[in-house]
Structure formats: C-alpha cells, structure tokens
Amino acid sequence: MLLHPAAKPLLFAVALLPFAWLLYAAFAETLGTNPAEKLLRATGDWTLRFMCITLAITPFRQWAGLPALARFRRMTGLFAFFYACVHFLCYAWLDMGFEPIAIARDIPKRPFILVGTLALVLLTPLAATSFNRAIKALGATRWQLLHRLVYPIALLGVLHFFWMRAAKNNFAEVFAYAAIVAVLLGWRLRARWAKQAQRSTPG
C-alpha cells in the first residue's frame, strides 16, 4: 500500500485539505469574528503538525518495520515549509499590510515573531535542497548535516508558539507540542548514543 503509485498523490491531496478549507472559509466569511487571528493560528498549527509528522516518520518506520514510510518524509517536510510560508504571509498581509519597512521594524521588536521568522529562514535552505540533484551537488554528508537543522527549527517553532500563547496565558497546546517534539528528539539522541556505545565496544 505504501509503495502504491497513488500513495504520494493521495498524501499530497490530504495535506492540502487544511489550506483548501481555510481558503474556502475565508471567501465564505465563516472564520468567525476575528478571521485574521483564525488564519494565523490555523496556519501556524499546521506548520507545527507537519513538522512533528516529519520528525515522527523515522522512529515510527523503524518501530513498525515499515521502511517505505521514508518516501513520504520529504513531502511532509515540504508541507511544513509551505504552511510556514502561508503563516508568515498571513502575518505580513493581515497584520502589517504588506509594508516591508513596517515588517522589518516589527520583527525584532516582538520576540515570538523574531523566533518564528528565524525558524522560517532556517527552514528555507532545507526546502531548497530537498530534491535529488541537491543531494548529489552537496554530497550526502553535507546534505545530512544541513538537514539536521530541522531539530533546532522544531524547537524554535515550539518557542514561537509558547511566546505567542504567553500573552493569553494558554499553554495546554504548547505543552502538547513540546512533549511530542521532546519525545521525537529524545528518541534520536538515544539512538545516537546507542550507536556510539556500540562503536566503542570492543569487538
């Protein structure tokens, strides 16, 4: 099933559903009393969700014995970048009216926007090098080192969400995302330590 030719197109269509719903709701004016906040929150939530899904693919495929899951990791990562871009565009348009000078002045003023922007900037080279030709050009080792930026990016995303929620003293969702990211990164640290211990053990 995971290797079926229709699997990737199906995932692509499913991943676009949140964006399609938000687009429809915006034109239908069904986003509630504060549509700008709804769009900002929803696109930010979906960025974090796809980031968590991307990080979860490797441990889950190893745990479940499903190596074919690896073929979907690139697409979920690109959708995390897509929703991050839409999230930033919503901020630039709905909050700042697409005024470049105002945006440039606002970003360093508010820590949660600065952190979110930094996460998007770091995510951009990962998206730009997510195709096979880039892997060949960079070399596997350098490509892997570059794509380890996904770990601090995930932490920056959670910090961005935390600071945004701090103003409203609403941390339930923040703790949920933080716990998921902590588990996924903790699994990677444990796997790395296990490999190092195996290498240092006398044969």
In sequence order, what are the residues at sequence separation of 6 or more whose Cβ sits closer than 8 angstroms to the Cβ of residue 90? 36, 39, 40, 43
Give the closest residue to 77 by CA, choosing from 151, 135, 17, 7.
151
Q: Where are the domains of the chain?
A: 35-187
Distance CA 19, CA 181 (A): 23
* 64 in Cβ contact with 194 (< 8 Å): no
Per-residue confidence at 156, pLDDT binned at 50, 70, 90? Answer: very high
Inter-residue contact 95 to 36 (CB < 8 Å):
yes
pLDDT in tens, 171-188: 899 999 999 999 999 999
Nearest to 46 by CA among 81, 96, 70, 90: 81
The first and second tokens of residue 108, run together, are 């360093």
Asked if 119 and 155 touch (Cβ cutoff 8 Å), the reply is no
Q: Kindly report, residue by residue over 56-89, the tens digit of the pLDDT.
A: 999 999 999 999 999 999 999 999 999 999 999 9
